[in-house]
């Protein structure tokens, strides 16, 4: 890290480093040993005296996210959305809601047909918020027809997003900037680039070195927005004196990479999940896991 800063320092007037809590003193000492003029800058002071860079905007910024959706029962979901959002955002939510509602009014009221409809909606969604709106609209439509669809939102989102291949957008790549630890962003980046969940953990440093050199992974070009996440983790492993044959991701548990993908769904709203279903070509209703989180009962 210090060597990288030294390479950048001659071309920049000021370099601001943000360290994790408790690491400020160590960072200052390390930089001082290299002869750099350094000074501690409290975070609050930095925020008030320096203009922060604006949040990066992507060309496909989502119209709404999970933070715009209420955590309420499906019967009052649409009304709460109306109350807590401005007219433009509510229209975006309501357009999706009405589209699914109209479709669900004619779908057969059984799990297989409903899951097939929701699975199609999930395949065309770029955020988990869109999928949750579809689930709530489906519940309301079935209820008006005399059927109660009980759904566990997190399980439903996890399963619906696990059965589709990733379709990364600019927004997805920008979202990974929220991670301070490079291994988390690298795991998600590899999955978005097309690596199956059961192979991500086995990737070596040499594999990533070749991928970055050729500019391709799984036969597809690497977007420029994805490269920094692989570069950062690769540099970290090199600083740890890892050998080319060592693992690119030095994670503590055998399922840690799957948990990171699930966290990305929950924390960043990405329509992905750590369940290893993406390469299973069976129809979704043949998977026992697909049925988790949903039950439809006739109320008449």
pLDDT at 277 over 90: no
pLDDT at 289 over 60: no
Using alpha carbons, select from 119, 89, 65, 128 the residue that is nearest to residue 263: 128
Could you give the 3-state DSSP secondary structure of residue 151?
A: strand
Give the model's pLDDT for residue 107: 96
The answer to whether 133 and 100 are in contact (CB under 8 A) is yes
55: pLDDT confidence band, cut at 50, 70 and 90? low
Query: How confident is the model over 222-232, as a mean pLDDT?
Result: 94
pLDDT at 257 over 80: yes
The residues spanned by each domain of the chain are 2-49, 66-163+287-298, 170-268
pTM: 0.79
List CB contacts of 195: < 8 A, sequence separation 6 or more: 203, 217, 218
97-129 pLDDT tens trace: 999 999 999 999 998 899 889 989 998 899 999
């Amino acid at each position: 890290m210090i060597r990288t800063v030294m390479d950048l320092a001659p071309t920049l007037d000021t370099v601001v480093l943000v360290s994790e809590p408790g690491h400020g003193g160590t960072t200052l000492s390390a930089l001082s040993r290299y002869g750099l003029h350094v000074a501690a800058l409290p975070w609050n002071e930095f925020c008030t005296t320096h203009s922060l860079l604006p949040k990066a905007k992507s060309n496909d910024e989502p119209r709404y996210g999970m933070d715009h959706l209420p955590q309420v029962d499906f019967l009052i979901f649409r009304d709460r959305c109306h109350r807590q959002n401005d007219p433009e955002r509510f229209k975006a939510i309501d357009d999706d809601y009405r589209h699914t509602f109209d479709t669900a009014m004619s779908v057969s009221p059984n799990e297989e047909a409903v899951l097939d409809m929701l699975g199609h909606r999930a395949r065309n969604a770029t955020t988990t918020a869109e999928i949750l709106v579809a689930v709530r609209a489906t519940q309301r439509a079935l209820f008006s027809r005399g059927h109660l669809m009980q759904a566990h939102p997190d399980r439903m989102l996890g399963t619906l997003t696990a059965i589709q291949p990733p379709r990364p957008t600019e927004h997805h790549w920008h979202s990974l900037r929220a991670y301070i630890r490079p291994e988390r962003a690298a795991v998600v980046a590899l999955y978005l680039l097309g690596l199956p969940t059961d192979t991500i953990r086995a990737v070596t440093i040499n594999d990533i070195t070749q991928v970055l050199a050729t500019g391709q992974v799984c036969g597809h070009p690497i977007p420029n927005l994805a490269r920094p996440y692989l570069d950062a983790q690769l540099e970290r492993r090199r600083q740890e004196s890892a050998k080319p044959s060592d693992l690119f991701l030095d994670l503590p548990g055998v399922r840690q990479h799957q948990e990171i993908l699930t966290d990305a769904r929950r924390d960043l709203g990405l329509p992905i999940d750590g369940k290893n279903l993406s390469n299973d070509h069976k129809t979704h209703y043949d998977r026992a896991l697909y049925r988790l989180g949903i039950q439809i009962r006739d109320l008449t």
